[in-house]
Structure 1
Amino acid sequence: MSGHSKWSTIKRKKEATDQARAKIFTKIGREMTVCVKEGGPDPTTNAKLRDLIAKAKANNVPSDNIDRLIKKASGGEDKSDYISIVYEGYGPNGIAVIVETLTDNKNRTAGDVRHYFDKFGGNLGTSGCVSFMFTSRGIVEVENNGYDEDKLMEDCVESGADDYSIEDDTVEFISAAADLHAVRDALTEKGYTILSAETAQIPDNYVTLTDEESIKKMNLLLEHLEDNDDVQNVWHNWENPEAAEEE
């Protein structure tokens, strides 16, 4: 199975600029705020918060920033009321796109997302129009400390994961979405350094684009979606050789 870095546009980047890191923390921060309000500020009892803290640290977010955000959310200082909305649509030449958002203004977010699709050769669809082309999976990303294939295969099976993928300096363990936290805990016990643990929408099939105009528009669509603070994740079924080479 290919790594999810190929089709997830919002991902940890080792050489991220300060501006990019700030953008990433804005998105993680919103998730943390909702997570703390729903499950409490203690990462030992709030598994999702524990995962978000690991994700923030993997993106070089200072611990002080993380602590302040958790304290603010748990103390009731943050009055933001974020709601989760998922949009589905088609990019150029029918590329399937799922956009996951956390917003405090659904009219603003809906307008922005629709504008991006319209401007870059796509169209926003109705709920369910493309999600049937994807399968929800659990992805646990760990540091790759030079593990050999035999160890990874053994630990994959023992942790309850279905597969693994080596991605340069990381390893991704793939599981059923419902098994995500159990796999993460099992890998932690085996000594792996967890970088992130989250569910992902994996396309059943990939689609290639051959004409330059469609490729340009698809890249612009993804860039604008990723740059929007309300957008948490973008999943698509575009097979992009250039992105794979950059990873």
Structure 2
Amino acid sequence: MSGHNKWSKIAGKKGIADAKRSAVFTRLAKAITLAAREGGGDVAMNFKLRMAVEQAKAANMPSNNVDRAVKRGTGEGDGGSMEAGLYEAYGPRGVGIIVETLSDNKNRTVAEVQATMKRAGATPAAQGSVLFNFDHKAIVTVLNPTTNDRGTLELILIDAGADDIELETEGLTVAGPVEKFQSLVEAIEAAGLKPNEAGLEFVPKVSVNLIDEEREKTEKIVQALEDLDDVQAVYTSLES
């Protein structure tokens, strides 16, 4: 799983300090609203909503904020339509950059993302020109899994659809096809483990190793994009 930042949630990626807490909650609320709009407001029946709500709770998002976001999605509260977007760019030495957005104003988002890319030193790319080097994967991590039978656990996860399993000191990382996302999470829970992070991510097929100066520039590009309100996540082919 080259390029995957294993041990951090979206809240960690966004730097959930007091100054940014509100912005993080806004992003999480958008994800909840979209999930509720697509599949209804019952977390027992809507797996995508359940994952979005659990991610919000892990970031200590107030329950009333979560409830409002769900109601917006089901039409019980105020709020316009939400649209997901995907933007591509190249960084130093051709490092691929994928930007996921969620917005109620696509024109605004396109303008902000492209302007930020150029200002930070990235080159906007044509649709598909960067994406071809990434796999869209279901990724689930578990911190410090309490299991002594690694072999049995791996067999359970393979049966659930896992195609890559890494068990390290920090924890367990499982990857699989997007369509196996729910079955992977449920298999981990059935084994008595609790996911630390669970979501769909873009993982590079081939990563690029950069010198320190180029790596720093790439990280600044990522940070500038992550600071935009409509950006949900940023992925790169930078060697981790």
TM-score normalised by L of structure 2: 0.87
Aligned equivalent of 2:17: 17
Distance 2:143 2:188 in 1: 11
After TM superposition, give the deviation of residue 160 of structure 1 in Å.
Answer: 2.7
1:121-159: CA deviations, max 9, x gaps? 221011111111011111122342443433542332243
> Counterpart of 1:238 in 2: which secondary structure?
coil
Cα-to-partner distance string for 1:155-176 (whole Å, 9 max, x where unaligned): 3224331222346554221111
Aligned to 1:160: 161
Whether the 8 Å CA contact 1:3–1:165 is kept in 2: the answer is no
Tell me if the contact between 1:226 and 1:233 (Cα under 8 Å) persists in the aligned partners: yes
Sequence identity percentage: 34
Report SS of the residue matched to 1:157: helix
Question: Partners in 2 of 1:183 and 1:153 — Cα distance?
Answer: 11
CA distance in 2, matches of 1:66, 1:156: 31
1:206 equivalent in structure 2? 207
The question of whether the paired residues in 1 share the 8 Å contact of 2:137 and 2:201 is answered with: yes
* Unmatched runs of 5 consecutive residues or more in structure 2: none
Unaligned runs of 5+ in 1: 241-247
The answer (yes or no) to whether the contact 2:16–2:24 under 8 Å persists in 1 is no
Deviation digits for residues 82-103 of structure 1 (CA, Å, limit 9, x no counterpart): 2111111111221111111111
Structure 2 CA distance for partners of 1:21 and 1:191, relative to 1, 3 Å: farther
Distance 2:197 2:98 in 1: 20
Question: How far has the Cα of 1:59 moved from its partner?
Answer: 1.9
The more displaced of 112-121 and 17-26 is: 17-26
Q: Which moved more, 1:144-153 or 1:223-232?
A: 144-153
Aligned-pair distance for 1:178?
A: 1.3
- The aligned counterpart of 1:193 is 194
- Per-residue deviation at 1:108? 1.8
SS at 1:156 equivalent = helix
Do 1:9 and 1:235's aligned partners in 2 also have CA atoms closer than 8 Å? Answer: no
Q: 1:54/1:167 Cα in 2 relative to 1: closer, same or farther (>3 Å)? A: farther
Aligned length: 238
Contact 2:141–2:171, Cα closer than 8 Å, also in 1: yes
Deviations 1:160-202 (A, max 9, x none): 3122234655422111111111111222222221333221111
Deviates more, 1:78-87 or 1:221-230: 78-87
RMSD: 2.5
- Secondary structure, in 3 states, of the residue corresponding to 1:235? strand
